A = this chain, B = another copy of it.
Amino acid sequence: MQDSAGIGMAASVGPCASIPADHMDFIRQVLDRVGDKWSMLIIAVLEGGPTRYTDLQRQIPGISQRMLTHTLHQLTEDGLISRTAYAEVPPRVEYALVPLGGGLNEIVKQLIGWAADHHDEIRANRSRAGTTASSASRS
């Protein structure tokens, strides 16, 4: 943990704060839940109102029952969405966003907006990949 300064060091440590390390845990916690392959998609779809199982499956093309059920279960356990089962003859279950999940959805929407706004730029950069090699000389 001690600062091993080999040569010049004297680097611009500045505020030094960066990440308090306390937050690192939070980020990972949230990311493991929201950052997986389907959670955000489900949350985004649920924004359009209560949706039932099969509708979810139809609105999210590539998802499998396994993942849909699994992700739905996790989101429900975390209290981000609610599950309501109607005891009807043809079983019906509706999933909906709860306030907590709604708050997260706001951030997800921003992320989606950002993605939609810059995705072509990112793809362009990804193509150039390694072209812009900036070499600075500094004895």
Contact = CB atoms under 8 A, between A and B. Distances in A.
22 contacts: A4-B58, A11-B55, A14-B49, A15-B48, A18-B47, A19-B45, A23-B112, A24-B61, A30-B112, A31-B35, A31-B40, A77-B125, A77-B129, A77-B130, A79-B122, A79-B126, A84-B134, A86-B137, A87-B135, A87-B136, A87-B138, A110-B110
Nearest to A116: B26
Number of copies: 2
Interface centre among A78, A85, A90, A121 (most CB of B within 10 A): A78
Contacts of A67: none
Interface of A: 1, 4, 6-7, 11-12, 14-19, 21, 23-24, 26-31, 33-37, 40-41, 44-45, 47-52, 54-55, 58-61, 77-80, 82-90, 100, 103-104, 107, 110-112, 114-116, 118-119, 121-122, 124-126, 129-130, 134-139
